[in-house]
């Protein structure tokens, strides 16, 4: 490092106020906080409506960059799921940005692993080695699945878990707003924590506002968050019904989008609504998604904010309620006890226990002195937890020992070339494979032998092409054609491998086209990772037309 300001790039597809949940709120507030602390801050996000016209006002001093994973090569059907497509778009955008700006730190979120290909590129090609690659912990999908009591629904879920596991395991440092979140990740994804790898608990910044005047009115409980099993609204409704039956007079407002986390992927809102007896239907209001100004208005009217989560990391709804001087009743799940001391900053109850929640609600609505005490304590606690400048300072302090001295860019290490054989299974491909051989002939690292295995082709045109290729070898490759009975592509590959004693084998499909430096990069990746058994390239699909 020289005397210039620390140069940091935050990556987040979500960005408040334009989209997203907690990750987008964090990215917006942290970008502003870091810029206010004197750092040179860049923010890489996806295109958002009106971002260009509002960026300067919303993010003073922050350089905004966008990438669009729905355009160009990213539109090819070459990705297992949208998060993988987005992660590749992040990588392609950050390569030139890092070349231009030489970031000291690149921070990406754990959720949906937006930095996945940055870590793959560092390991395989040595890119981004001159900066700190950091992961900010929100709550990865594997933890959410575990806490929802379900496994993957499909291959996309499995791929995202692999991606999230990779970034969490390979990050230079993990930053989390709660110690509980890091412990939970280790419980669900054992092995991602590395001995000696730094982990830091640094707060999510959240600017305080003057607490609005408390509005007098009937008793009202407010719950803000997506209507899903993990957020625990079903517990709140069950507890409230018991209290209404006892004669208490209040209403419950639930603000948040619906989800399909009910039984058999049913609507959670509908699942909860069906449990409400007709006599109390008018006491429960599902508001749907609400914007931040509406949340603030609701908080000024609420007797309490109820956060009945079965798991949560560092919920913004709790922070905002405390900042608005609204008493909080919250479960003791996850990182919430790191935010609230029971009966000092709010009331805590045992997570998942509707009876304990009922008792906490009853205690609060019957004790106006307790309401006043919690209301008075909230704003100071919110500032203590999430002051933006303090949050930025703690994050930069956590990064400081990892910052790397400025050095001239080094050339890539020399590759130790070993004998390499390319094995191509072939079955009735006609002349299409001629293009494959042509791309092989253009490699910057030429193969030492090419074994083309004819897996019992029956098509006359294909057999004719094989015969001509074996005789003429127009691409001047070290080519051998081997004939076997048809047994399938895997058997054909194994036949080719058995015909060579080369220590490196590159299986290549008969309809693949290679980038000119494909083999060179794959061999270099193996040299960079001596313990690796194989290296594999990314692919892009295409059509003949």
What is the DSSP secondary structure assignment for residue 342, as one 8-state letter? B
As given in the structure block, the two tokens for residue 94 are 């950050």
- Of 1-5, 44-48, 384-388, 528-532, the poorest mean pLDDT is in 1-5
Neighbours of 335 (CB within 10 A): 24
324 neighbors 378 (Cβ within 8 angstroms): yes
- Assign residue 375 a region: left if phi > 0, alpha if psi is -120 to 50, beta otherwise? alpha
Domains present along the chain, CATH in parentheses: 7-205+395-402 (3.40.50.2000), 220-386 (3.40.50.2000), 420-528 (3.90.550.10)
pLDDT digits (tens, 9 = 90+) for 265-274: 899 999 999 9
217 neighbors 300 (Cβ within 8 angstroms): no
Statement: residue 132 has pLDDT above 90: yes
As given in the structure block, the two tokens for residue 274 are 């069906």
> Distance between CA atoms of 63 and 44, rounded to whole angstroms?
9
pLDDT digits (tens, 9 = 90+) for 413-470: 565 678 999 999 999 998 999 999 999 999 999 999 999 999 999 999 999 999 999 9
More confident residue, 81 or 78: 81
Question: What's this model's pTM, rounded to 2 decimal places?
Answer: 0.88
> Distance between CA atoms of 182 and 503, rounded to whole angstroms?
41
284 neighbors 276 (Cβ within 8 angstroms): yes
Report pLDDT for 155. 85
Statement: residue 412 has pLDDT above 60: no
Arithmetic mean of pLDDT over the chain? 93
pLDDT digits (tens, 9 = 90+) for 329-350: 999 999 999 999 999 999 999 9
> Distance between CA atoms of 222 and 304, rounded to whole angstroms?
6
Q: In Å, how far are 224, 239, 245, 364 from 358, measured between CA atoms?
A: 18, 5, 12, 10
Report pLDDT for 217. 82
Report pLDDT for 152. 64
Statement: residue 315 has pLDDT above 80: yes
Report pLDDT for 409. 52
Q: How confident is the model at residue 2 (pLDDT cuts 50, 70, 90)?
A: low
Q: How confident is the model at residue 33 (pLDDT cuts 50, 70, 90)?
A: very high
Q: How confident is the model at residue 264 (pLDDT cuts 50, 70, 90)?
A: confident
> What HEC string does 460-480 produce?
HHHHHHHHHHHHHCCCCCCEE
Report pLDDT for 539. 77
Return the percentage of the chain with pLDDT > 90, whole number.
84
pLDDT digits (tens, 9 = 90+) for 179-208: 999 999 999 999 898 888 999 999 999 998
140 neighbors 174 (Cβ within 8 angstroms): no
φ/ψ of 287, rounded to 5, equals -85, -15
Q: Average of pLDDT values for 144-159?
A: 81
Q: How confident is the model at residue 404 (pLDDT cuts 50, 70, 90)?
A: confident
> Distance between CA atoms of 423 and 425, rounded to whole angstroms?
7
Q: Which of 406, 481, 478 is nearest to 6 (CA)?
A: 406
Q: Average of pLDDT values for 174-178?
A: 97
Report pLDDT for 451. 98
Nearby residues of 390 by Cβ (< 8 Å), 6 or more positions away: 203
Q: How confident is the model at residue 151 (pLDDT cuts 50, 70, 90)?
A: low
Q: List, edge to edge, every strand of the sheet that includes 328-331.
A: 284-288, 251-255, 220-224, 304-307, 328-331, 347-349
Q: Which of 109, 167, 168, 103 is nearest to 138 (CA)?
A: 109
> Distance between CA atoms of 389 and 248, rounded to whole angstroms?
43
Q: How confident is the model at residue 211 (pLDDT cuts 50, 70, 90)?
A: confident
């Amino acid at each position: 490092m020289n005397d210039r300001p620390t140069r940091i790039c935050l990556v987040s597809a979500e960005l408040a106020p334009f989209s997203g949940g907690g990750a987008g709120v964090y990215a917006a507030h942290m970008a502003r906080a870091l810029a206010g602390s004197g750092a040179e801050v860049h923010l890489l996000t996806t295109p958002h409506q009106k971002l260009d016209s509002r960026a300067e006002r919303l993010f003073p001093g922050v350089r905004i960059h966008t990438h669009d994973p729905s355009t160009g090569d990213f539109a090819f059907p070459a990705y297992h799921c949208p998060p993988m497509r987005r992660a590749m778009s992040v990588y392609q955008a950050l390569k030139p940005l890092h070349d231009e700006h030489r970031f000291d730190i690149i921070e990406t979120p754990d959720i949906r692993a937006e930095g996945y290909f940055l870590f793959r590129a560092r390991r395989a090609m040595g890119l981004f080695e001159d900066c700190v690659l950091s992961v900010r912990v929100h709550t990865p999908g594997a933890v959410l699945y575990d806490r929802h009591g379900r496994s993957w629904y499909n291959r996309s879920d499995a791929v995202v878990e692999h991606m999230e596991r990779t970034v969490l395991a390979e990050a230079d440092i993990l930053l989390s707003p709660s110690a509980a979140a890091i412990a939970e990740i280790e419980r669900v994804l054992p092995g991602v924590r590395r001995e000696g790898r730094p982990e830091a608990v640094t707060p999510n910044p959240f600017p305080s506002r003057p607490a609005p005047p408390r509005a007098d009115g009937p008793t009202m409980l407010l719950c803000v968050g997506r209507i899903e099993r993990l957020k625990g609204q079903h517990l709140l409704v069950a507890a409230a019904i018991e209290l209404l039956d006892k004669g208490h007079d209040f209403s419950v407002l639930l603000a948040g989008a619906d989800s399909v986390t009910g039984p058999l992927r049913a609507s959670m809102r509908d699942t909860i609504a069906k449990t409400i007896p007709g006599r109390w239907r008018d006491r429960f209001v599902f508001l749907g998604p609400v914007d931040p100004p509406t949340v603030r208005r609701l908080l000024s009217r609420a007797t309490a904010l109820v956060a009945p989560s079965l798991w949560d990391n560092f919920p913004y709804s709790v922070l905002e309620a405390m900042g608005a001087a609204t008493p909080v009743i919250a479960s003791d799940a996850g990182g919430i006890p790191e935010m609230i001391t029971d009966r000092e900053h709010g009331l805590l109850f045992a997570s998942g226990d509707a009876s304990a929640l009922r008792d906490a609600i009853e205690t609060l609505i019957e004790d106006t002195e307790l309401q006043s005490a919690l209301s008075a304590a909230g704003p100071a606690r919110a500032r203590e937890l999430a002051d933006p400048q303090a949050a930025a300072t703690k994050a930069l302090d956590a990064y400081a020992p990892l910052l790397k001295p400025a050095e001239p860019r080094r050339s890539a290490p020399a590759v130790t070339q070993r004998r390499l054989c390319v094995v191509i299974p072939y079955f009735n491909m006609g002349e299409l494979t001629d293009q494959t051989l042509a791309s092989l002939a253009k490699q910057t690292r030429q193969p030492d032998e090419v074994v083309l295995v004819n897996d019992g082709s029956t098509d006359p045109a294909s057999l004719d092409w094989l015969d001509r290729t074996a005789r003429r070898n127009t691409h001047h490759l070290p080519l051998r054609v081997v004939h076997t009975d048809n047994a399938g592509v895997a058997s054909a590959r194994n036949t080719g491998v058995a015909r060579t004693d080369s220590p490196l084998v590159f299986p290549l499909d008969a309809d693949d086209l290679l980038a000119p430096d494909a083999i060179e990069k794959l061999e270099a990746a193996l040299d960079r990772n001596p313990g690796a058994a194989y290296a594999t390239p990314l692919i892009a699909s295409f059509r003949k037309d």
